[in-house]
Amino acid sequence: MAPKEMAPFVYPIDPKTHIICGLDEAGRGPLMGDVVAACVVLDHDHMIAGLNDSKKLSEKKRNALAPLIKEQAKAWGIGRASPQEIDQLNIIGATFLAMRRAYDEMCHNFNLPQVNLALIDGNLVPKTLPCLGQAVVKGDAQVPEIAAASILAKVTRDADLYALDQQYPEYHFAQHKGYPTAEHLALIKSLPLLPCYRVSYGPIKRLIAERAQQAQSGHQQSQSCPPGSMPFLL
């Protein structure tokens, strides 16, 4: 079933006479990979049909819309924060960092006048944005600029996961996209933790603790065995 069209959004200022960008991210929930943000300014005289929350669109539809957004938007940018930055800052701080990087890339790559307003998906506004910001709860299903940003962020992050899947096929990244599915959690119990994993996330933190405990137990067991003997393994 095709997703419903977005209801008309009432902008606080006229998007035809002001520069309004939309910001959204992909990848806050997964156990690994970058959190990816996108920033988009649309041309309201030539709007792109079919925009919606990326989660409500099929992968085929997202992949078809992403190049249209890049071709027809007035401006766009992509920003990231690494797993290490997520662990250091927490996911909210890292998301805001990725959003600022997306905003900066957009402004650097496109000759735009001063941005008048940034509309951000969710209920928080990054304090580091150099323009007025307004949070819009479920904005990716209401605001075309945020919907476009959600599509670019999702398609970009999915491309990361497909590349990782080619490099590490045993992790099945293309299937679970890094989310803590039962399959993913079962797989990593017997696989090394790659540098792309977020060690501050609960399941990964617990797995690291379990492995440290097992290593310590194994070390103590080997220390208690007489020279030349073999420990009894269950």
| Whether pLDDT at 1 is above 80 | no
Give the pLDDT mean for 86-92: 98
CATH 3.40.50.720 corresponds to the domain 10-224:
no
Confidence of residue 219 (pLDDT cuts 50, 70, 90): low
Confidence of residue 4 (pLDDT cuts 50, 70, 90): low
**Residue 6 has what pLDDT?**
84
| Whether pLDDT at 234 is above 80 | no
**Residue 232 has what pLDDT?**
28
Q: Over the stretch 35-86, which tens digit does the pLDDT of each residue have?
A: 999 999 999 999 999 999 999 999 999 999 999 999 999 999 999 999 999 9
Confidence of residue 233 (pLDDT cuts 50, 70, 90): very low
**Residue 5 has what pLDDT?**
74
**Residue 199 has what pLDDT?**
98
H/E/C letters for each residue in the chain?
Answer: CCCCCCCCCCCCCCCCCCCEEEEEEECCCCCECCEEEEEEECCCCCCCCCCCCHHHCCHHHHHHHHHHHHHHCCEEEEEEECHHHHHHHCHHHHHHHHHHHHHHHHHHHCCCCCCCEEEEECCCCCCCCCCCEEEECCHHHCCHHHHHHHHHHHHHHHHHHHHHHHHCHHHCHHHHCCCCCHHHHHHHCCCCCCCCECCCCHHHHHHHHHHHHHHHHHHHHHHHCCCCCCCCCC
Query: What are the extents of the domains in the chain?
Result: 10-224
End-to-end CA distance of the chain: 53
Residue with the larger pLDDT of the pair 105 and 1: 105
Which residues, 6 or more positions from 140, have their beta carbon under 8 angstroms from its beta carbon? Answer: 24, 52, 53, 54, 55, 121, 146, 147, 149, 150
| Whether pLDDT at 216 is above 70 | yes
Q: Over the stretch 121-171, which tens digit does the pLDDT of each residue have?
A: 999 999 989 999 999 999 999 999 999 999 999 999 999 999 999 999 999
**Residue 221 has what pLDDT?**
58
**Residue 133 has what pLDDT?**
98
Rounded to the nearest integer, the mean pLDDT of the chain is 92
Pairing relationship of beta strands 133-136 and 117-121 according to DSSP bridges: parallel
Of 6, 17, 8, 15, which Cα lies nearest the Cα of 134?
15
The predicted model scores a pTM of: 0.90
**Residue 68 has what pLDDT?**
98
